[in-house]
Amino acid sequence: MSRALTVAAGQLGPIERADGRPSVVARLIALLERAKAAGCALVAFPEMALTPFFPRRLVEDDEELAGYFESEMPGPETRPLFQAAADLQVGFALGYCERARQNGLERFFNSAVLVGPDGAVIGKYRKVHVPGTRDPVPGLPVQHMEPRYFSDGDLGFPVWPAFGSRIGLAICNDRRWPETYRLLRLAGAELLLIGYNTPAHLPDAPWQNDLRGFHHRLPMQAGAYQNSLFVVAAAKAGVEEGVEMLAESCVIAPSGELLAQAEGVGDELVVARLDLEMAERYRRFLDLEGSRRSEAYGPIAAPTR
Ligand code: ING
């Protein structure tokens, strides 16, 4: 038996501060149209796909900061993207900065929505692993201050039945940690869509510069194999606000193999035809729900230092 699903990573080139929502939304719609022509049912867009990755700097102007956040999804400026999805019958996942109201308090999350081929929101995920520091690290030319701007996600790792599969979302740094894949798989996921903004170089760890692409793929290929998942990973790429970003969007099979990879560093569709039954075959072969949760582990020890 085979269950075919053609998907794509919708890689984006840089988004500059002066680019308004309408120009970004037009780029996203152009990718959806190309996805339709390529026979895709679903496109994964990057983390923070509507704005520059501003947490690399201090945003001291409240109005500028407010301009990066969405208080509804879709909102007036993003609605054309949702309409295009419905017209084309192509779904998508979209990363964005969420402004939420909880018990009368404003909260801010690094979020993503999954949208069906009818243009309706299926579900929302809020980034769990929010990396970096609250305050600038002295001497660092490029900062990473996500905790300054975002709370940790409070929705866990939800999984939705959609597109003839079971789909989960993760955002950038989430892809480096085994719990992401494990929790999603135990909740039934077989397809994981990940958006990211990853600097191509680390100013504080230049000894890792040659390994950036490897350290991007290694946990995703391992996570895919160990949990029998397909992974679609979509970059914000190119030089954004003077910072070079890792491109290398890709699609990975439950075998751990790379099925497709981006060639450039701009807006690009990375298409792969998945046989979802492969996730089922590997799941059964690896006996994921059985031998991988052994009582023979014994009690989990307290950390030794
Ligand atoms: N980006 C980074 C990533 O994991 C990060 C996080 C922080 C990388 C600090 C390097 C240094 O690729 C996001 N957006 O999570």
Structure confidence at residue 1 as a pLDDT band (50, 70, 90): low
Q: How many Å apart are CA 229 and CA 39, to the nearest integer?
A: 22
The pTM for the full model equals 0.96
List, in order of start, the domains of the chain with CATH numbers. 4-286 (3.60.110.10)
Average of pLDDT values for 213-238?
Answer: 98
pLDDT tens column, 239-251: 999 999 999 999 9
CB 234 within 8 A of CB 170: no
pLDDT at 291 over 80: no
* H helix runs in the chain, sequence order: 21-37, 62-66, 79-88, 146-149, 178-186, 212-227, 277-286
Both tokens of residue 43? 């496109």
CA of 131 to the centre of ligand 1 (A): 6
HSE-CB for 272 with a 13 A CA cutoff: 23
The residues with which 12 forms a beta bridge, in sequence order, are 236
CB 207 within 8 A of CB 219: no
pLDDT at 292 over 80: no
Q: How many Å apart are CA 9 and CA 40, to the nearest integer?
A: 10
pLDDT tens column, 149-172: 999 999 999 999 999 999 999 999
The pLDDT value recorded for residue 287 is 87
Out of 195-204, 260-269, 289-298, which region has the weakest mean confidence (pLDDT)?
A: 289-298
- Ligand 1 atom 3, closest CA: 173
Q: How many Å apart are CA 278 and CA 127, to the nearest integer?
A: 28
47 assigned to active site = yes
- Ligand 1 atom 14, closest CA: 197
- Which residue in 70, 98, 124, 172 is the catalytic one? 172
- Which residue in 127, 240, 248, 250 is the catalytic one? 127
Cβ neighbourhood burial of 251 (10 Å; 0-12, 13-18, 19+)? buried
pLDDT tens column, 93-151: 999 999 999 999 999 999 999 999 999 999 999 999 999 999 999 999 899 999 999 99
pLDDT at 235 over 80: yes
Q: In sequence order, what E strands does 141-276 have?
A: 159-162, 165-171, 191-196, 230-235, 238-240, 243-245, 250-252, 258-261, 268-275
250 assigned to active site = no
